[in-house]
């Protein structure tokens, strides 16, 4: 091994661990002629440029949930909450589409980055100083946090709740552990990354064929194999392979949020399935049956209860339909990263507030006929209540809502996370400033 044999304090401890080599560790031989600081830094640079986008859009999702943000009681980890805007209407579609889509697209890069540094995992002794022990702990935060976020995210968007614990709690706190590991890793390794990237010419690598590919010069971290085999792939070939993996993932996921004909390409994702061509044939989130909506509750006996400033009004569906109707083309975007844009028609929420004497409502609590579950009710902020396109929709694409899309009436508000657009609305209580 080319590594130095000096130990920091307490030297006897490190030397003692070094002597106790685990059986089999000497039989591990690293053969790839491509591993080296330049290659690792190339993957690192891609992740450094993109992962902050995944982090920020993820945290924005927490803000977008407003009063419904989970987990609560997060202490100092509480984000600076602000009223989630309603303009542009595709805001949540964009942020959440990026969070989920980019998160998936980066999986091949993450795997390649881990492959490129895996010899470090099997170095013996694992540490020669207290500094290295501490650094290994922060690496556990980094790698553990990243893999944990990927695994829980991938399972969640496909409804595989094998993990048993709360996704929101796990994904939120897991993100913080990852962020700490990420920041400290970047702070420690940024100079190494810059130096390594400058050690070779990127343009030159793109011109180098497999047969001309030679290993990088030996490095102090031992990423470069001591006795590499002949290359089976050029460095540019490996970069193309990883980039191709990301491109394939993009092709298989982007359609779930871009929609239109590209939806067919998302052929392995829940919202890539063909739902038909009818006006109500777009993806559903939670069926009426699953929400426990009793068949009779949505028929002629259904009433909408409005409350505010001491006044209360009850309307049936015919009375709602007799009020001024407004039509808006709005996306409904889910936290799982898919979205669908439809033409909604119904009564402006602010017109409903007017009916109970609140011309300038500051918020509202919307309740559903759904009796169980985290999203049987939702709190809307001032902007969401007052926006001219914020509707209690009765129709979609020119016909009555289907039962699964929220008949007799559902909320649709620009840029609001999909699940907060309450279906099967039973009552709205308006707040005054």
Partner 1 sequence: MSSARAARWSRAYGASGWHLALMLASLAVVTYVVLTVGLAALWDPDVWWQSIAVWFVGAVVLHDLVLFPAYALVDRLLRLRLGPSAGRRATPRVPLLNYVRVPTLVAGLTFLLFFPAILSRGGSTYANATGLTQEPFLQRWLLLVLAAYLLSALLYVVARLRHRT
Least distance (Å) from partner 1 to the CB of residue 409? 20
The residue behind tokens 């091994």 is 1
Distance between CA atoms of 51 and 379, rounded to whole angstroms?
Answer: 31
Q: Give the count of beta carbons closer than 10 Å to the beta carbon of residue 49.
A: 9
Least distance (Å) from partner 1 to the CB of residue 337? 13
Measured from the CB atom, the residue of 201 and 232 that comes closer to partner 1 is 232
Contact of 280 with 397, CB cutoff 8 Å? yes
Measured from the CB atom, the residue of 6 and 203 that comes closer to partner 1 is 6
Measured from the CB atom, the residue of 114 and 313 that comes closer to partner 1 is 114
Least distance (Å) from partner 1 to the CB of residue 399? 18
Measured from the CB atom, the residue of 84 and 282 that comes closer to partner 1 is 282
CA distances, 161 to each of 85, 96, 157, 167, 329 (Å)? 31, 20, 10, 8, 33
Least distance (Å) from partner 1 to the CB of residue 115? 7
Least distance (Å) from partner 1 to the CB of residue 180? 5
Measured from the CB atom, the residue of 232 and 314 that comes closer to partner 1 is 232
Least distance (Å) from partner 1 to the CB of residue 101? 12
| Tally of residues, the chain | 433
Measured from the CB atom, the residue of 51 and 284 that comes closer to partner 1 is 284
Measured from the CB atom, the residue of 128 and 317 that comes closer to partner 1 is 128
30 secondary structure, DSSP code: -
Measured from the CB atom, the residue of 37 and 181 that comes closer to partner 1 is 181
Least distance (Å) from partner 1 to the CB of residue 383? 29
Q: Which two tokens stand for residue 223?
A: 């990423």
Distance between CA atoms of 160 and 153, rounded to whole angstroms?
Answer: 10
Measured from the CB atom, the residue of 132 and 362 that comes closer to partner 1 is 132
Least distance (Å) from partner 1 to the CB of residue 207? 19
Distance between CA atoms of 175 and 146, rounded to whole angstroms?
Answer: 8
Distance between CA atoms of 291 and 372, rounded to whole angstroms?
Answer: 7
Measured from the CB atom, the residue of 83 and 289 that comes closer to partner 1 is 289
Distance of CA 126 to the CA centre of its chain: 34
* Concatenated DSSP letters of 58-126: HHHHHHHTGGG-SS---GGG-----PPP-SSTTHHHHHHHHHHHHHHHTHHHHHHHHHHHHHHHT-SSS
**N- to C-terminal Cα distance for the chain?**
71
Cis peptide before 128 (omega within 30 of 0): no
In this structure, are strands 304-308 and 425-432 parallel, antiparallel, or unpaired? Answer: parallel
Distance between CA atoms of 273 and 268, rounded to whole angstroms?
Answer: 8
Bridge partners (DSSP) listed for residue 348: 391
Dihedral Cα 412, 158, 254, 235, nearest 10 deg: 150
Least distance (Å) from partner 1 to the CB of residue 422? 16
Least distance (Å) from partner 1 to the CB of residue 117? 11
């Amino acid at each position: 091994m080319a590594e130095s044999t000096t130990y920091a304090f307490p030297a006897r401890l490190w030397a003692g661990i070094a002597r106790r080599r685990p059986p089999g560790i000497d039989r591990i031989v690293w053969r790839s002629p491509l591993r080296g600081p330049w290659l690792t830094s190339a993957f690192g640079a891609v992740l450094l440029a993109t992962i902050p986008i995944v982090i920020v859009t993820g945290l924005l999702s927490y803000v977008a949930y407003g009063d419904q943000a989970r987990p609560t009681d997060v202490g100092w980890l509480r984000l600076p909450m602000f009223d989630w805007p309603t303009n542009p209407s595709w805001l949540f579609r964009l942020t959440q589409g990026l969070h989920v889509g980019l998160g998936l697209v980066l999986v091949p890069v993450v795997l390649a980055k881990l492959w490129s540094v895996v010899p470090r995992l099997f170095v013996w002794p694992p540490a020669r100083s207290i500094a290295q022990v501490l650094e290994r702990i922060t690496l556990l935060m980094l790698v553990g946090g990243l893999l944990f976020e990927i695994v829980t995210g991938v399972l969640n968007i496909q409804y595989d709740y094998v993990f048993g614990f709360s996704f929101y709690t796990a994904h939120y706190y897991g993100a913080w552990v990852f962020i700490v590991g990420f920041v400290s890793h970047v702070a420690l390794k940024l100079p190494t990354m810059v130096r390594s990237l400058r050690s070779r010419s990127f343009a030159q690598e793109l011109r180098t064929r497999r047969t001309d590919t030679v290993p990088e010069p030996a490095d102090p971290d031992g990423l470069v194999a001591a006795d590499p085999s002949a290359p089976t792939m050029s460095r540019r070939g490996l970069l193309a392979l990883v980039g191709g993996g990301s491109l394939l993932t993009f092709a298989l996921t982007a359609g779930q949020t871009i929609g239109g004909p590209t939806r067919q390409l998302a052929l392995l994702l829940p919202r890539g399935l063909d739902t038909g061509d009818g006006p109500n044939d777009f993806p559903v989130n939670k069926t009426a049956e699953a929400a426990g909506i009793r068949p009779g509750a949505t028929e002629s006996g259904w009433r909408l209860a409005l409350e505010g400033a001491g006044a209360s009004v009850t309307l049936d569906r015919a009375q709602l339909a007799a009020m001024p109707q407004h039509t808006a083309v709005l996306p409904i975007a889910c936290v799982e990263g898919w979205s669908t844009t439809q033409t909604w028609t119904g009564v402006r929420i602010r017109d409903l507030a007017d009916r109970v004497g609140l011309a300038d409502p500051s918020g509202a609590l919307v309740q559903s006929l759904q009796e169980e579950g985290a999203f049987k009710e939702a709190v809307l902020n001032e902007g969401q209540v007052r926006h001219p396109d914020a509707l209690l929709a009765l129709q979609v694409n020119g016909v009555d809502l289907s039962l699964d899309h929220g008949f007799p009436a559902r909320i649709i508000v620009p840029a609001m996370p999909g699940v907060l657009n309450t279906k099967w609305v039973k009552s709205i209580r308006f707040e005054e400033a």
